[in-house]
Structure 1
């Protein structure tokens, strides 16, 4: 069986075990159904997710020209504290920025490798946690715009990490933590502007990933350097395929790559 299309990050569904879907223009695949099967990945060409042209991907699935100009790649995406739509100030496209920044946002704790703080739109919970490979997570505050979430994250990351150790996450070198206790301990560091939005009574969300076997060491697959790869799929966690030989493939890291997937 063959599938061909441009890669985008996998769609997910939080059930007892996370369900993963690769969505192409004309087809889709439930990746859970091909666990323990030999699959191949063949890199064919680039296709920018914005302009659709066959141009080398720079970041986030976009060519350099698009990444440098479109509002979907503004600096406030990575650094939400730089959001300015609440001030009616434009970065690249004020209408688009208002449509994203002036929506409810969540500041959360997620445990993928160690506990970390993060920001996402409310509509992206629990998707964001799944994408990070978090086996447990909890909300800290729910604020009305991205700026407030950003300054809260900046304040809290002085006291807790804000990065995921993807190697530890993929080898399952993790431990359970009491995220309620961590949340309550961090409350004192929330900026005054966001304190009224503190969430005091919610509980941890537990997430279970479809992994049959975790590797002891991981070897990242880069389709630019290795355009063809074949192996037995043993798991999916975060946005990664995990193969029997320890190879791991970051699907999101290859957005904008047109591939042929064989099963």
Structure 2
């Protein structure tokens, strides 16, 4: 009796914030072992692919279509990698692939599936300025593509009131340039103007830029879509160092920062 062809393998790979040095050896090996690679074009451009590897690029707003195409290829027996910037599980492709798998045909659930972590933007930005995530923190996306803005506002207020340091992803876009300014307005209701804010753009890349300011001075124009914004808690500190960049850190101990 003929046996069924084994299903292929699909791995979701996190390439880190940009430079090859921030990509894990495990992720590098997974990319080298893939036949077909699916991803947003600029992320695929960072990889040194061989001529025998098929590159399937798509727009950054086509996550579900990309996930479906990758699952279909893997179900046909291909060794597939879905390439994601940063960490694939943080506002990225791992969840999109799981969502497509759950809604798709039964054959997709038989695919050998794995997710490989990467260095996400908030970790790269934090390391560039000190240790702002040294205490409890959370990550929020300001994109309202998949959730109402009212939900984002409630989460911002709850996180600020609870004393979390916040990492804000997707702070602005061409379609929604108002998001970050609105978020700052929400946070100023519950946080003092002196709270430290870090604008971390393209961490680890040649065009990286780290700007440290305060909530009172922060403006939406300081960020673009390549920026991760860190909002300190009431306890986050700034260490001035004459002749050197200042350091930002959040003490591990808990004081009286929660109102």
Richer in strand (by share): 1
Higher-RCO chain (CA-CA 8 Å, sequence separation at least 6): 1
- Rg bigger for which structure? 2
Query: Shared fold by TM > 0.5?
Result: no
Give the alignment's TM-score, normalised by structure 2. Answer: 0.24
Give the alignment's TM-score, normalised by structure 1. Answer: 0.24
